[in-house]
Amino acid sequence: MIGNIQSHLSQNLKGSMKLLLYLLVSVLMFGSLIGAEQTTLHLWHPMPAPSRAVLNDLVAEYEALHPDIRVHLLYKENEEVRMAYMSATGFTEGGPDLLYGPSDFTGALVEMDIVKPLENFFSEEELAAFDPKGLTWYQGHLYQIGDELGNHLALVYNKRLFAEVGLNRPPETLQELIEFGKKLTIDKDGDGVVDQYGLVWNFTEPFFFMPFYASYGGWVMDEDQNPTLNNDAAIDAFKFVRDMRDVHGIIPIECDYDIADSKFNTGAAAMLINGAWSWAKYMDSPHVDFGLAVLPVNEETGLFPAPMIATKGYYMNPYVSGEREKQVVELMKFLTGAHAQFEYSSRLATIPTRLEVRQLPQIAEDPVIMTSIEQVSRGKAMPISPQMRAIWDAMRPAYQNVLGGSMTPEEGAAYQQKVAVQKVAELFEGQDIDRDAVNITAILVYLAGLILVIWALYKLFVAFILPLMHGIPGVQVQESRFGVLMVAPAALFIFGVVVYPFFYNLVISFSNMGLTTVNDWQIIGLSQYGKVLTDSQFYHFFLRTIIWTVVNVALHVIIGTMLAMLLNRPLPGKGIIRVLLILPWAVPSYITALTWRGMFNIDYGAVNIILNKFFGIAPISWLIDPTNAFIATIITNVWLGIPFMMIIALGGLQSIPQELYEAASIDGASPWQQFKKITLPLLKPVMIPAITLGIVWTFNNINVVWLVSNGGQPGDQTHILVSFVYRAAFNLYRYGYAAAFSFMIFLMLALFSVKFMQKNKATETAY
Amino acid sequence: MKKTSPLQYIMIYSILLVAVAWSIYPILRVITISIRPGDNLLTESLSIIPDDWTFDNYIKLFVDHPFGTWIWNSILVTVTVVITGVALASTAGYALSRFRFPGREASLLSLLVTQMFPATMLLLPLFIMLSSLHLINTYLGLIVIYSSTALPFCVWQMKGYYDTIPYSLEEAARIDGASRFMAFYKIILPLASPALVITALFSFMSAWTEYIVAAQVLWYEEMFTLPIGLKSFQANMTTEWGLYAAGAMIVSVPAIALFLFLTKYLIGGLTLGSVKG
């Protein structure tokens, strides 16, 4: 059997070489003809760099075999590939022919009706060649063909560091994990700072907490997809992870994915819990003598920690049909075939879904794959229903709050259950509406819209077209026509881009559009607005956004103006200083915001190191404590925004005539009086428009908050309104609610800006 | 103004020195990561140039990835956006500054209003719109969107600058027989060059550094602009930070260079007009 496959593989290869030659000849002869008939198939995937290399090779091979086919690959991050596929396929019936991803995409794709059932394209025999776990069925249909069983976490350890303390095997129980961890947590230079940790992993993320929850007998949902998060298992598992950090001290206080990865990879940590996708990297690391082990058993319960296992594989776009459909199926069969799976497995030690490949000696005898398979046998399949998303979003804040100390484990368990139930309900909201009933609300909304449009057109006619034809008093007709002509191109550009999205959101905000109603949403009136306004979180984050905006803009203006005043005098080296102060503006903020996040790290961040070295301040946990995290985002944004205000202020200061100061000096005015009586009043008209704009920009600045706090961490407590709506609504496909929420943000800002400018008399009389 | 005393000088310089250090340190940090070997993120050293520095990451960018192509694509898109932006903002700003015409105040106010809607919510409808206009996988779609993102601000600041140029200059030209457009083109536009430079700079920044819209519109790696190319080094869980930092520096250097050369225009040229008047 095994030999059969190997010879089959090599025959395939020989065949392909012959085919290649044949094709070369035919291309030379009929080049133009074949070129014209080429079909390009699109495949989107979230594969990390090592798997991407294998995929590239496979596709090149496939294209050589099928000269009429070009396969076009596009890489995007996991979340982004899902969102991009949903936009392209769910909203425009476009998108790629194939989507590659983990099996937990399935539920949402099926609910949105944007994935094709595959059972009719494969014979029973073909399907029997797969491990049943490698085929993703949902509600009676086959939606995904897997090429890998993966994403499972296991224990990676550095044999060299183990040997240094006299250990020659990985821990076998959780008790041992702690014991070994203590032995391996070492302060090498005796300065009171740990230099090598026993264990690191991305423990603040619920996915990386799941195995422990399972080892106490817990699981995320029951058979009816209802969340099951409030139980002793959750409490015990919370305590276990917390104690590893606080009682046993074997894991760092702050540890996200990148820190864990970097620590282990450079030999600064002895054990690491990480997923199958990451192992290849550590095998190549010069600092790591790679060892892999299953997560050690929980001796209290006798259960093994069960990591979540996801099948990775291919989904097909439902809008593919005809001849193209055949081509896509053929490509999918190639990419999930024995040859392709062998390539992945042999190069990256992944677990193939095809049983025949798993039995090949190179695969079956590989120690990493053997351990990996053992770990999978102790794992549990990741639920593929869309509820899982809601559960993650509920677990994250509760879990992080427990770790941060603002909730007890008991409170955390109760809280995550409560939020999960609520979020699951939100996920399916709006689908219970009777679609056949006469929709009076819709008629009313459309009627109101129609009246509004007629009114606007009438207004436009009276205010715009009529004067253009007959002129306005005191202004020549010609002049106003010239004015309109000059503004028109820019206006067309701006409104061409803005108008449609604006009205689209307005309409959606009156609708029930959500996960299950993407294609058949209905107008339901104002109820989304009602939901926004009755949500206490809205007010909570509104208040926070105001603090965020006021503090930021105030500091931008104060520091910016101060620096401008220092620079507004003859000063050797002024030019270079000015340029250096402007630099934060010149570097894209998504780069510097990430850098700032790194600088706020508790152990390795420059901020703490500087505070410690020069001021002797003990390390501050910037990113774990919610208040500190919020301060960290503000510091970053202040840094980003000062140059703009400084430049505006410099311009304003330069336009103030020096004579005024000289005259004031002669009259004996003190510098403070000069500042108050001359500088401030003359700077104000220059600054007010900039401040208005600054407020509008800062209020909606999702970028900095998102990047510095890593999406609102800890526990979704560092959000401002825009990032909150993105996390809580858009993330759970609540399109209608998110649109209403955004409109509320928009209305508040518009109202405020108008009031603000009126109050500050930015309005002069028009000439 | 009174002469600055030596003591004052010392104080001013020390404040400025602290400000400069805090302003450039995070940027230097990016350089440090880009010349550090491997993905080693963690170090307690504050020094900018690591002992074992290397340009490997920069070399890798061009050898293993079509970084050259991406740079070229970005230049193409950015130049078009800058030209469009300058043309549209200079004319619209002029009209808003000089002429009274129906819809003028509404236009000024709506420039500000366009900045108020959360950008994250505009993405999906923008994508739908571009897709129905068959502008997916074209630079035209990108160019239109980039041009219009920077426009409101540019128009506003152009208008503010024109406001500071005396009206009498055009009147003189008109008396000499120049048409309205010629008066604008020959007399006012050259005077407004500092503001034009800023408009160009803002258009440049909005096109050169943007990746969110680009990631929605472009499906072909060979069509990528620099920022999405950069984004592709960021994978969830397996980001190649060294490469990312090196790419980030390459994105930043032209922007930094422009700011270096244009600072003197920036000051005094950047004048936001009031909404009315």
Provide block-wise average pLDDT over 10 residues at a time, chain A (767 residues).
45 49 47 61 92 94 94 91 92 93 94 94 94 94 94 94 94 95 90 88 93 95 93 96 93 88 91 91 90 95 95 96 94 96 93 94 91 93 92 93 91 95 88 65 80 82 69 65 85 86 90 86 87 91 95 97 91 89 90 90 87 88 89 96 92 86 87 88 86 91 90 86 87 90 91 80 40
- Rounded CA gap, B27 and B21, in Å? 10
**A612 neighbourhood in chain B, CB within 8 Å:** none
Q: How close is the nearest chain A Cα to the Cα of B62, in Å? A: 16
Amino acid A599 reads: M
Task: Give the 3-state DSSP-derived string for A218-273, with helices as H, strands as E and coil as C.
Answer: CCCECCCCCECCCCHHHHHHHHHHHHHHHCCCCCCCCCCHHHHHHHHHCCCEEEEE
pLDDT at B113 over 60: yes
Kindly state the tokens that stand for B181: 């457009």
Q: What DSSP string runs through A23-78?
A: HHHHHHHHHHHHHHT-EEEEEEE---HHHHHHHHHHHHHHHHH-TTEEEEEEE--H
Total structural domains within chain A: 4
DSSP β-bridge partners for residue A43: A73, A98
Q: What residue in B sits closest to A474 (Cα-Cα)? A: B100
- Rounded CA gap, A371 and A350, in Å? 11
Residues A600 and A657 grouped into a single domain: yes
Test mutation, B32, B114, B124, chain A, max A CBs within 10 A: B124
Q: How many CA atoms lie within 13 A of A619 on its CB side?
A: 18
Q: Do A725 and B26 touch (CB under 8 A)?
A: no
pLDDT value of residue A764: 42
- Rounded CA gap, A731 and A337, in Å? 34
Residues A52 and A191 grouped into a single domain: no
Q: What are phi and psi of A319, to 5 degrees?
A: -90, 5
Assigned domain for A521 exists: no
Residues A615 and A742 grouped into a single domain: yes
- CA torsion A459-A461-A462-A463 (nearest 10°) is 80
DSSP β-bridge partners for residue A42: A72
pLDDT value of residue A731: 82
Assigned domain for A524 exists: no
Residues A550 and A489 grouped into a single domain: no
Q: Do B116 and A690 touch (CB under 8 A)?
A: no
Q: What residue in B sits closest to A696 (Cα-Cα)? A: B116
Residues A697 and A573 grouped into a single domain: yes
Q: What residue in A sits closest to B204 (Cα-Cα)? A: A586
Q: What residue in A sits closest to B184 (Cα-Cα)? A: A486
Residues A506 and A557 grouped into a single domain: no
pLDDT value of residue B277: 37
Mean pLDDT of B82-102: 90
pLDDT value of residue A199: 96
Helix H or strand E segment including A380: strand A380-381
Q: Domain span at residue A485? A: 440-511
> Quick check: A569 contacting B, CB < 8 Å?
yes
Mean pLDDT of B237-251: 83
For β-strands A308-316 and A380-381, DSSP reports them as: parallel
Over the range A372-386, which residues count as b (16 or more CB within 10 Å of their CB) and which as e?
A: bbebbebbbbbbbbb
Assigned domain for A278 exists: yes
pLDDT value of residue A1: 41
| The CATH number of domain B67-240+255-269, selected from 1.20.1260.60, 1.10.3720.10, 1.10.10.10, 3.40.50.1370 | 1.10.3720.10
DSSP state of A157: E
Test mutation, A477, A487, A700, A731, chain B, max B CBs within 10 A: A487
Contacting A residues, span 594-633, partner chain B, CB-CB under 8 Å? 595-596, 598-599, 603-604, 606, 609-610, 613
Contacting A residues, span 162-201, partner chain B, CB-CB under 8 Å? none
Angstrom CA distances, B229 to A564, B92, B225, B277, stand at: 37, 34, 6, 44
- Specify the 3-state DSSP secondary structure of B106: helix
**B147 neighbourhood in chain A, CB within 8 Å:** 493
User: Per-domain residue ranges for chain B?
Assistant: 67-240+255-269
Closest CA to B260 of A481, A131, A217, A581: A581
Q: Long-range contacts made by residues A64-67, C-beta under 8 angstroms, separation at least 24?
A: A64/A16, A64/A19, A64/A20, A64/A23, A65/A16, A65/A19, A65/A20, A66/A330, A67/A23, A67/A26, A67/A27, A67/A34, A67/A38
For β-strands A269-275 and A153-158, DSSP reports them as: antiparallel
pLDDT value of residue A468: 67
Show which of A483, A511, A539 is a domain's final residue. A511
Test mutation, A595, A673, A734, A755, chain B, max B CBs within 10 A: A595
- Rounded CA gap, A395 and A383, in Å? 15
Mean pLDDT of chain B: 86
Residues A476 and A505 grouped into a single domain: yes
Assigned domain for A525 exists: no
ipTM of the complex: 0.90
Assigned domain for A516 exists: no
